[in-house]
Structure 1
Amino acid sequence: MGLAWSRRYRLLLTTSDAAVIALAVTVAFLGRFGLGDAELSVAGVSVQYQVVALIVGLLWFVTIGAFRTRATRMLGVGFAEYRSVVNASLFIFGLLAIAFLIFQVQIARGFFIVALPIGLAALLLERWIWRRWLNHMRNDGHYLSRAIVVGSPAEVAYVVKQIEKKSGAAYSIVGMALPEGDHLALDFAGEPVPLVSSLDHVAEAAHMHGADAVIVAGESSGGGTFIRDLGWALEGSGSELVVASGLTNVAGPRIHFRPVEGLPLMHVELPQFEGGKHLAKRLFDIAVSGAALVFLAPFFAIVAVAIRRDSEGGVFFRQERVGRNGETFPMIKFRSMVQTAEADLKGLLDQNEGSGPLFKLKHDPRITRLGAMLRKYSIDELPQFWNVLMGHMSLVGPRPPLESEVKDYEKHVHRRLYIKPGLTGMWQVNGRSDLSWEESVRLDLYYVENWSLTGDLIILWRTFKVVTNPVGAY
């Protein structure tokens, strides 16, 4: 079969990228010069500004491609595609600015400054629209890469489960290859996954079943030699070789490869909990939370009046939560329960539906009529912008725990407290209260060790989508 869909999709991206860049450069040119002619001096020679605009657009388009923003491995998965588009755009405009300075090109700043933000915003919007379309097609079973998963039964089962859980993984599992004599009953998308080969004949099975990818799950019995030989056997077949790393909590940007005399060394950057990146995060928190509090003030007043009229008690609910490095702080929420909620908790403990140290009850009798609506759309959480502004919390981070929860933490779970808790986070955009305790911990620890400002922006955007279509909110 090959990746015919990938070639078609990349052609669509190439065409739309070219159209967006051409439109951005044209808008910038017309906004600066109108329909009239314009010239500039390049090393003492007059050049039509239309020619310069054309060169800028062509270089921008070529750089977008050179940064592999249309590579198959990026299509519809994670935010690496967006990050590459941003990096490519900033790189070429920075390079052009240096070149214009060196060669004394009298570029019009208005054109240069307008073209970048308009074009970059349009490129990201265009990629987002295409991604939405691609994910819609994948949900219907189209535009997926056919894959065979190779490894021990336990490792194959884990990888297939994770791929099925995340539709954005973009794979359709068409078979599995296990060590000789092993068997495994496994379903994917409601269909049984057939055993198509032993570990000795994976390449032949990939060809026979038209697999676009062979995924090696975990450590094979042959180690690096097995992967090397499999790569050789797949050469020229059109199937790509994918290795599912055992570094489950390490994001791609922290992994770097450095060959030393033929030995491929994998460098894994250790997480940093201080420094410039954290200062930038704090400045971002202050700017956004401050603006949000000003903008939402009228809405807060309306909610406050509604809470007062709905049930007896104060407008706000304050509760001690545990923040960074185990320090406690008073977290503020709009009151969504009856005034006696804390005292009533003891009588409900035997009905707990939460996992781990969490207390959760889908139909909690303490929640008021208005409170149910506030919780459904996370309106009760909005006063926490004040906690963010005060430095107790961050916009994005792990879920803020109670002191009683922290007392029951296993040793490794305390790593959640290495950074500030968040108003939103991985837990909120991946199911909220529907998550198991283990999955919630895994997501929070992954965030603690791999967060980035770009990732925070993606989580904030996904939070907005989750809030408008609430799942697991109770």
Structure 2
Amino acid sequence: LLLPAILVLSDALCVSAALYFSWYARYVLEFGPEIEEFNFQPYSIYFPLQLWLVTVTIATFQLTGLYRTRRGLEWFDDIPSIVRGTAVGVMIVFTGVALSRYPASSRLTFILAWMFSSMLVVLGRALVQSLLALLYRRGIGIERVLVIGGNNLGRMIMQSLAARRHLGYEVAGFVDDDRLGDFGPFRHLGGIDDVERVALAERIDQVIVALPAASHGAILGIVDLCQRAKVRFKIVPDLYEMSLSRVDVDTVSGIPLIGLKAMAIQGINAVTKRGVDIVFATVALVVCAPMMLLGAALIRLESHGPVLYRQIRIGKDQQPFQMYKFRSMRQDAEGQREDLLREHDQDGRLFKDRNDPRRTRVGAVIRRWSLDELPQFWNVLLGDMSVVGPRPQIPQEVAGYEEWHGKRLAVSPGLTGLWQVSGRSELSFDEMVHYDVYYIQNWSLGLDFRILLRTIPAVLRARGAF
């Protein structure tokens, strides 16, 4: 109950401040059309509306679920709901003012109140979550989680939770009948029948079930065990299921016919996404130009050779294109790739090495913070890539594809994507493809926006980047 109360207080202060700022901008700074002296309205006219605006906005937030405790979300996930909620609050109060002929009649002031409310509430909630993250990192208020399932899905869940300590989760370990050993830092705590014992012994707060959909009986049994142990539980759908969740259902003479919906990124959606890409890439190149010039100079000073590294990647519909990056390795880096593959015994489809000896000192820095990828905004302008999309692949990786891997080539590759914000280089190849397929099947501008917002903290924390 403490967190919702803190959020209500934060929202109330932000909405109150927003109404004052909007009045100040309109009548003191004279933002908008010129105000005649006899039309000036003192703040004392708007002050009584604060209580109404705060009350209506908070009630709207409550109805839309903005005060539910949901640890799995970042602060920016609520931005669309906040913008809608503040809009509803302002419109209701403005309608009441208009119907009652109350003297606070400036429409521009109410429009500014909506804009300021949206921005301040978002900033206030970001501050609250930052304070919570600080407490979580110190071990205060964390939830201990037990994952059921040591399969790919279970490993993805554990890695994702471990990489997001700021959300307040601590993975105690996992249980699985078919796996007897630990998985990296995650302990194998027993079989599925041991859930109740493990939950009590490890002081588990929440159980996450990550079993295949075919395990219906086992899942029902786990639900019963969790209820007996009085532990909260959540069930994670398999990513294969999620990719098939977009279905059309028709009937012929009462017989249901089920088929897959068309891919989301086509037609008007594809045109819209391309337009957003062009605008975003143009702005990014202009804003990042000084940083790119500095990076180019440092690369050239440290090692001889071209500043830009050009590499053939496979794009949409398996069409090859030349991708640009800042050079972060020595000139003969590609020649040493096969030797390193043999030395590290890695699958060439996703070769990564934290201590790659081919990397220069400047290269290590720009790779860590993903600055080497800034020239790819030019690829976006050329139409080879998108800002958000599947990870671009080299021809050797595509040559080793299984049939289902090819789904990720149905759209243009991206600078960032679900793979980028879900572990980056810490993911296995198949896990990365799962994320890409899910993105393709469930694309929306809102999903792109959330991925872009998640990319910022992922890059700043340099999570999984090497």
User: TM-score, structure 1 length as denominator?
Assistant: 0.74
Query: 1:117 aligns to what?
Result: 115
The residue matched to 2:350 in structure 1 has which SS?
A: coil
Segment of structure 1 superposing worse, 117-126 or 332-341: 332-341
Give the drift of 1:30. Answer: 2.9
Whole-Å separation in 1 of the counterparts to 2:441 and 2:428:
20
Segment of structure 1 superposing worse, 119-128 or 71-80: 71-80
Question: AA paired with 2:141?
Answer: Y
The residue matched to 2:65 in structure 1 has which SS?
A: coil
Query: 2:440 aligns to what?
Result: 448
The residue matched to 2:437 in structure 1 has which SS?
A: helix
The residue matched to 2:242 in structure 1 has which SS?
A: coil
**1:292 touches 1:385 (CA, 8 Å); kept in 2?**
yes
Segment of structure 1 superposing worse, 47-56 or 95-104: 95-104
Rate the CA distance shift 1:449–1:430 in 2: closer, same or farther, 3 A: same
Question: AA paired with 1:405?
Answer: E
Match of 1:405 among 397, 404, 413: 397
Give the drift of 1:405. Answer: 1.3
Whole-Å separation in 2 of the counterparts to 1:171 and 1:147:
7
Rate the CA distance shift 1:56–1:248 in 2: closer, same or farther, 3 A: farther
Q: Does 1:88 align with 2:85?
A: yes
Q: Does 1:281 align with 2:279?
A: no
Question: AA paired with 2:429?
Answer: W
Give the drift of 1:323. Answer: 1.2
Question: AA paired with 2:384?
Answer: H
Whole-Å separation in 2 of the counterparts to 1:97 and 1:324:
49
Whole-Å separation in 2 of the counterparts to 1:353 and 1:165:
26
Give the drift of 1:68. Answer: 0.9
Question: AA paired with 1:357?
Answer: R
Query: 2:12 aligns to what?
Result: 18
Query: 1:319 aligns to what?
Result: 311
Question: AA paired with 1:17?
Answer: D
Query: 2:125 aligns to what?
Result: 127
Rate the CA distance shift 1:329–1:222 in 2: closer, same or farther, 3 A: closer
Give the drift of 1:344. Answer: 5.0
Rate the CA distance shift 1:409–1:110 in 2: closer, same or farther, 3 A: same
Whole-Å separation in 1 of the counterparts to 2:176 and 2:342:
45
Whole-Å separation in 1 of the counterparts to 2:143 and 2:337:
50
Query: 1:331 aligns to what?
Result: 323
CA offsets 1:306-348 (integer angstroms, 9 cap, x no match): 3333333223222221112212221112223344444554555
Rate the CA distance shift 1:352–1:143 in 2: closer, same or farther, 3 A: same
**1:335 touches 1:371 (CA, 8 Å); kept in 2?**
yes
Whole-Å separation in 2 of the counterparts to 1:155 and 1:436:
9
Query: 1:71 aligns to what?
Result: 68
Question: AA paired with 2:52?
Answer: I
Question: AA paired with 2:376?
Answer: Q
CA offsets 1:23-60 (integer angstroms, 9 cap, x no match): 111221233235999899xxxxxx94444454333222
Query: 2:374 aligns to what?
Result: 382
Whole-Å separation in 2 of the counterparts to 1:215 and 1:342:
42
Q: Does 1:394 align with 2:401?
A: no
**1:273 touches 1:418 (CA, 8 Å); kept in 2?**
no
Tell me how many residue pairs correspond in the alignment.
444
Rate the CA distance shift 1:156–1:396 in 2: closer, same or farther, 3 A: closer
Whole-Å separation in 2 of the counterparts to 1:346 and 1:212:
47
Runs of at least 5 residues in structure 2 that lack an aligned partner in the other structure: 30-36, 249-257
Runs of at least 5 residues in structure 1 that lack an aligned partner in the other structure: 1-6, 41-46, 257-265
Question: AA paired with 1:110?
Answer: L
Alignment of structure 1 residues 287-302 onto 2, 5 Å: 287-302=279-294
The residue matched to 2:387 in structure 1 has which SS?
A: strand
Alignment of structure 1 residues 62-461 onto 2, 5 Å: 62-73=59-70, 76=73, 80-93=77-90, 107-145=105-143, 161=158, 165=162, 167=164, 193=189, 218=211, 222=217, 242-246=234-238, 250=242, 271-343=263-335, 345=337, 348-352=340-344, 354-461=346-453
CA offsets 1:169-228 (integer angstroms, 9 cap, x no match): 75567899999xx998889987775789789xx7x9999999765655545655898799
Q: Does 1:463 align with 2:455?
A: yes
The percentage of counterpart residues that share the same residue type is 32
Query: 1:28 aligns to what?
Result: 22
Question: AA paired with 2:279?
Answer: A
Rate the CA distance shift 1:10–1:210 in 2: closer, same or farther, 3 A: farther
Question: AA paired with 2:26?
Answer: R
Give the drift of 1:362. Answer: 4.2
The residue matched to 1:357 in structure 2 has which SS?
A: helix
Segment of structure 1 superposing worse, 388-397 or 107-116: 107-116
Whole-Å separation in 1 of the counterparts to 2:327 and 2:175:
54
Rate the CA distance shift 1:65–1:37 in 2: closer, same or farther, 3 A: farther
Give the drift of 1:120. Answer: 1.0
Give the drift of 1:349. Answer: 4.5
Whole-Å separation in 1 of the counterparts to 2:87 and 2:135:
31
**1:353 touches 1:360 (CA, 8 Å); kept in 2?**
no
Whole-Å separation in 2 of the counterparts to 1:312 and 1:189:
41
Alignment of structure 1 residues 55-66 onto 2, 5 Å: 55-66=52-63
Rate the CA distance shift 1:98–1:363 in 2: closer, same or farther, 3 A: same
CA offsets 1:129-164 (integer angstroms, 9 cap, x no match): 222232333344443456677x78979976984675
Whole-Å separation in 2 of the counterparts to 1:451 and 1:330:
25
Give the drift of 1:403. Answer: 1.6
Rate the CA distance shift 1:188–1:19 in 2: closer, same or farther, 3 A: farther
Segment of structure 1 superposing worse, 393-402 or 88-97: 88-97
CA offsets 1:273-299 (integer angstroms, 9 cap, x no match): 214444333222212211222233333
Rate the CA distance shift 1:164–1:111 in 2: closer, same or farther, 3 A: closer
Give the drift of 1:124. Answer: 1.3
Whole-Å separation in 2 of the counterparts to 1:432 and 1:60:
38
Give the drift of 1:429. Answer: 3.3
Whole-Å separation in 2 of the counterparts to 1:82 and 1:469:
22
| RMSD of aligned alpha carbons | 4.8
Question: AA paired with 1:19?
Answer: L
Give the drift of 1:366. Answer: 4.0
Whole-Å separation in 2 of the counterparts to 1:432 and 1:148:
23
